[in-house]
Amino acid sequence: MVHRSGKVRGFHIHATDGVIGHVDEFLFDEETWTIRYLVVDTSNWIGGRTVLISTALVTRIAAVEREIHVSVSRADVQAGPSLDAADIPLAERLPAIWIM
């Protein structure tokens, strides 16, 4: 199924053990124009941090319920490295989860 990105903004992100936030933006691959990461606002959970979650971790999209399910735990998201602390080129080698 195809959706406009504007319609998916605001979908709640469900980790394997609970809600972690909602989709705020998307990061696209500049060569293929595919979505590489969901930019997730976790302000209602871990105090205003923004998390990047790889689309490879998406297991299910429930459009009617406005939910995206990912194969990562809340603990994994909370323990993920910060983008500010990363010593790698941002555009090329982001891991599955980053916290900004």
Tens digit of pLDDT at every position of the chain (100 positions): 566 778 889 999 999 999 999 998 888 877 788 888 888 888 887 776 788 888 999 999 999 999 999 999 999 888 765 555 544 455 555 556 655 5
Q: How far apart are CA 85 and CA 82, in angstroms?
A: 5
User: What gap in Å lies between CA 83 and CA 93, rounded to an integer?
Assistant: 11
Do 93 and 76 form a contact (C-beta atoms < 8 A)? no
Residue ranges per structural domain of the chain: 5-99
Distance CA 94, CA 37 (A): 9
Q: Which CATH number describes the domain made up of 5-99?
A: 2.30.30.240
pLDDT at position 79, please?
Answer: 78
pTM: 0.78
3-state secondary structure at position 13? strand
